[in-house]
């Protein structure tokens, strides 16, 4: 039986090699027909593709006596070991106790701060008959080594970690996903679940869009009506809700344990109807509008000429900064169509000063390039192939002036765009975004005049005008968010649709095993 299986495996490897020679330039529909599933060999299945893999030699067999060794001296390494054990116990069915001893067989976690050849978040994984050794310079690297190991262990049942070596490091420092909890409210447990799903693919930033016209979702002590009144409702008039400060802290802590930094966004000066509805004094005419449950954009604005507006901005950002250990505060700045250009520039100047006053770094949507980005401000590009040249040029000029960019091209990285005409959920203002289209671009060369050195990384935003449940979220995010994770992590030389689509397909059963309701996109050769 085993020989038959092995022969089958060889056959599959051969067909994989053949299918990988297919030109990746073929158009979307056509390639969907051409590719058939050919299970890649284990080290080719790792997603995101590692910088370097060298399969070979005897592998390490997981047995009932296998232990995870975290050495002595670091509580953090111990925690990483405990969490890895939890993640491996389910699929393997083994007890996998975590022990202090550093020497012996088993799964070894080694933090080696002197390993200069390993990058900040990089790691090395070696699997031999004697042990699987994970080595990293930082705890984050060790965590990622563990996530790679998870993918080398069979999806179910004990088995073997095939022999070989992975030497890995990320291409970009910022590998993000965003969730909009303002249009439809999502709870902290729901967001934690998403975060867990993302962290295993080495995503390290979670941007939370906390406020918009339809809802204000975070408690602010100095302006309590924001959440109490402005947090009620949402698109379509559902119940809505908001996070208390403890809820937010809980998410931040949970994220940190998975080496994810939370990037909170308070969208200003537009997208502020929920705040304007909560406090009449924030409106130029002193009258509070009704709460809003539709999905139009660009109609609201804070009152730029009133001093109380800046008291509000400073209070909110001060309280938010105090809750946020991460370095970034995102202040929105998109679609301020109800704010005249000069007012916009004046407002963004003060909002950026308020961020700096809290010792944080500004992130804003790329419209900030039309005003004056403060030194060090990061711009988030959400344009698309048809964005006018003047707007692109402004962003390129900002990059030239030293601003780093997060790339979220709407016609590639937006998870709320429909896959195709048959997708029931989602929007289509940036066109349809099939899985192949969302993957097949290179962040290092995507924007003319923006060299790779100006690219901080990538982010896949999930706007929730049409997304209300965990099932909606998973259907739109998966599998596209995995492609964005690979673009953020893997070296440019490894980006290849034919190989990626086989790799992604091999993750189908793993997603199912985790009960992730992904879209079985027709352009992916699922098994
Ligand atoms: C735009 C808009 C959001 C919408 C989203 C829908 C940005 C940055 N502002 O993206 O308010 O929700 O499109 O796709």
C-beta of residue 69 within 8 angstroms of C-beta of residue 109: yes
CA of 400 to the centre of ligand 1 (A): 26
The number of the ligand 1 atom at minimal distance from the alpha carbon of 408 is 8
Q: How confident is the model at residue 34 (pLDDT cuts 50, 70, 90)?
A: low
CA of 347 to the centre of ligand 1 (A): 20
CATH fold for the domain made of 174-494? TIM Barrel (3.20.20)
**In sequence order, what are the residues at sequence separation of 6 or more whose Cβ sits closer than 8 angstroms to the Cβ of residue 124?**
115, 118, 133, 134, 135, 136, 145, 165, 166, 167, 168
On the question of pLDDT at 39 being above 50, the answer is: yes
CA of 211 to the centre of ligand 1 (A): 12
Ligand 1 pocket, mutate which of 334, 430, 460 (most atoms under 8 A from CB): 334
Say how far apart CA 198 and CA 177 lie, in whole Å.
Answer: 8
Q: Read off the pLDDT of each residue in 12-23 and give the average, rounded to a whole number.
A: 32
The number of the ligand 1 atom at minimal distance from the alpha carbon of 297 is 11
Say how far apart CA 399 and CA 93 lie, in whole Å.
Answer: 50
Ligand 1 pocket, mutate which of 183, 463, 466 (most atoms under 8 A from CB): 463
Q: What is the pLDDT of residues 297-347, one digit of tens each?
A: 999 999 999 999 999 999 999 999 999 999 999 999 999 999 999 999 999
Ligand 1 pocket, mutate which of 335, 416, 431 (most atoms under 8 A from CB): 335
Distances from the Cα of 516 to the Cα of 150, 198, 472, 475, 512, angstroms: 17, 11, 11, 8, 6
3-state helix, strand, coil in the chain (%, to 5): 40, 15, 45
Q: How confident is the model at residue 2 (pLDDT cuts 50, 70, 90)?
A: very low
Query: If you average pLDDT over every residue of the chain, what do you get?
Result: 93
Q: Read off the pLDDT of each residue in 188-194 and give the average, rounded to a whole number.
A: 98
Say how far apart CA 415 and CA 156 lie, in whole Å.
Answer: 29
Q: How confident is the model at residue 1 (pLDDT cuts 50, 70, 90)?
A: very low
The number of the ligand 1 atom at minimal distance from the alpha carbon of 417 is 14
CA of 3 to the centre of ligand 1 (A): 54
C-beta of residue 50 within 8 angstroms of C-beta of residue 168: yes
Residue 491, SS3 per DSSP: coil
On the question of pLDDT at 172 being above 70, the answer is: yes
In this structure, the residue with its CA closest to atom 8 of ligand 1 is 334
Catalytically active residues are 335
Q: What is the pLDDT of residues 430-439, one digit of tens each?
A: 999 999 999 9
In this structure, the residue with its CA closest to atom 5 of ligand 1 is 463
* Among 421, 441, 425, residue whose Cα is nearest residue 381: 441
* pLDDT for the residue 275: 98
In this structure, the residue with its CA closest to atom 6 of ligand 1 is 463
Q: How confident is the model at residue 201 (pLDDT cuts 50, 70, 90)?
A: very high
In this structure, the residue with its CA closest to atom 13 of ligand 1 is 463
Say how far apart CA 174 and CA 178 lie, in whole Å.
Answer: 12
Superfamily of domain 60-168: Chitobiase/beta-hexosaminidase domain 2-like (3.30.379.10)
Angle in degrees, CA 517, 519, 521, rounded to 5 = 155
In this structure, the residue with its CA closest to atom 7 of ligand 1 is 334
Write out residues with Cβ below 6 Å of ligand 1: 297, 334-335, 365, 382, 414, 416, 427, 463, 465
On the question of pLDDT at 10 being above 50, the answer is: no
Q: Read off the pLDDT of each residue in 28-47 and give the average, rounded to a whole number.
A: 76
pTM of the model: 0.93
* pLDDT for the residue 154: 83
Q: Rounded to 10 degrees, what is the CA torsion of 186, 434, 335, 377? A: 80
In this structure, the residue with its CA closest to atom 4 of ligand 1 is 463
* pLDDT for the residue 45: 97
CA of 31 to the centre of ligand 1 (A): 30
* pLDDT for the residue 335: 97
The number of the ligand 1 atom at minimal distance from the alpha carbon of 465 is 12
C-beta of residue 36 within 8 angstroms of C-beta of residue 481: no
On the question of pLDDT at 33 being above 80, the answer is: no
Give the percent of the chain with pLDDT over 90. Answer: 87
CA of 423 to the centre of ligand 1 (A): 19
Q: What is the pLDDT of residues 346-391, one digit of tens each?
A: 999 999 999 999 999 999 999 999 999 999 999 999 999 999 999 9
Stated length of the chain: 527
Residues of the chain with CATH 3.20.20.80: 174-494
The number of the ligand 1 atom at minimal distance from the alpha carbon of 427 is 14
Residues of the chain with CATH 3.30.379.10: 60-168
CA of 343 to the centre of ligand 1 (A): 21
Residue 164, SS3 per DSSP: strand
- Give yes or no for a cis peptide into 119 (omega within 30° of 0): no
The number of the ligand 1 atom at minimal distance from the alpha carbon of 380 is 8
Q: What is the pLDDT of residues 88-127, one digit of tens each?
A: 998 888 999 999 877 889 999 999 988 888 899 999 999 9
Q: How confident is the model at residue 20 (pLDDT cuts 50, 70, 90)?
A: very low
Distances from the Cα of 180 to the Cα of 207, 216, 220, 271, angstroms: 9, 11, 18, 12
Please state which of the ranges 29-38, 276-285, 345-354 shows the lowest mean pLDDT.
29-38
Q: Read off the pLDDT of each residue in 15-38 and give the average, rounded to a whole number.
A: 46
CA of 463 to the centre of ligand 1 (A): 7
Question: What single string gives the DSSP state of each residue in 441-485?
Answer: --TTTSSTT--GGGEEEEEEEE--SS--SHHHHHHHHTTHHHHHH
């Amino acid at each position: 039986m085993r020989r038959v299986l092995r022969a089958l495996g060889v056959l599959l490897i051969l067909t994989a090699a053949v299918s990988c020679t297919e030109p990746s330039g073929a158009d979307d529909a056509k390639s969907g027909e051409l590719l058939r599933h050919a299970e890649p060999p284990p080290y080719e299945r790792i997603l995101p593709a590692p910088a370097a893999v060298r399969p070979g030699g005897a592998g390490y067999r997981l047995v009932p006596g296998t232990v995870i060794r975290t050495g002595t001296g670091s509580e953090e390494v111990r925690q990483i070991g405990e969490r890895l054990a939890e993640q491996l116990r389910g699929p393997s069915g083994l007890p996998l106790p975590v022990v202090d001893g550093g020497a012996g067989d088993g799964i070894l976690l080694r933090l080696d701060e002197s390993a200069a050849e390993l990058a900040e978040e990089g790691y090395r994984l070696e699997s031999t008959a004697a042990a699987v050794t994970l080595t990293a310079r930082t705890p984050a690297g060790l965590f990622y080594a563990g996530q790679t190991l998870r993918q080398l262990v069979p999806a179910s049942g004990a088995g073997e970690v095939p022999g070989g070596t992975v030497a890995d490091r990320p291409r970009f420092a910022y590998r993000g996903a965003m969730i909009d909890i303002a249009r439809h409210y999502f709870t902290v447990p729901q967001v934690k679940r998403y975060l867990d799903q993302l962290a295993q693919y080495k995503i390290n930033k979670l941007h939370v869009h906390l406020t918009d016209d339809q809802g204000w979702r975070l408690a602010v002590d100095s302006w309590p009506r924001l959440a109490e009144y402005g947090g009620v409702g949402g698109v379509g008039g559902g119940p809505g809700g908001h996070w208390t400060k403890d809820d937010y802290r809980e998410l931040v802590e949970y994220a940190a344990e998975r080496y994810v930094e939370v990037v909170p966004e308070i969208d200003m000066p537009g997208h502020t109807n929920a705040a304007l509805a909560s406090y009449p004094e924030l409106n130029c005419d002193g009258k509070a509008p009704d709460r809003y449950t539709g999905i139009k954009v660009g109609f609201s604005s804070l009152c730029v000429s009133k001093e109380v507006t800046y008291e509000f901005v400073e209070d909110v950002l001060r309280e938010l900064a105090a809750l946020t250990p991460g370095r970034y505060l995102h202040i929105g700045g998109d679609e301020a169509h109800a704010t005249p250009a000069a007012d916009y520039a004046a407002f963004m100047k003060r909002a950026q000063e308020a961020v700096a006053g809290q010792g944080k770094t500004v992130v804003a949507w790329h419209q900030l390039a039309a005003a004056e980005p403060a030194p060090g401000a990061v711009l988030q590009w959400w344009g698309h192939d048809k964005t006018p040249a003047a707007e692109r040029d402004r962003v390129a000029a900002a990059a030239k002036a030293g601003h780093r960019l997060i790339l979220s091209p709407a016609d590639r990285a937006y998870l709320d765009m429909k896959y195709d005409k048959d997708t029931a959920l989602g929007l289509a203002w940036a066109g349809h975004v099939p899985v192949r289209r969302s993957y097949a671009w290179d962040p290092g060369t995507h924007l003319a005049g923006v060299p790779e050195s100006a690219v901080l990384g990538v982010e896949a935003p999930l706007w929730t005008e049409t997304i209300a449940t965990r099932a909606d979220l998973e259907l739109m995010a998966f599998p596209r968010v995995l492609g964005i994770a690979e673009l953020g992590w893997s070296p440019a030389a490894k980006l290849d649709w034919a190989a990626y689509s086989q790799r992604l397909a091999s993750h189908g059963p793993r997603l199912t095993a985790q009960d992730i309701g992904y879209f079985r996109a027709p352009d992916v050769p699922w098994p």
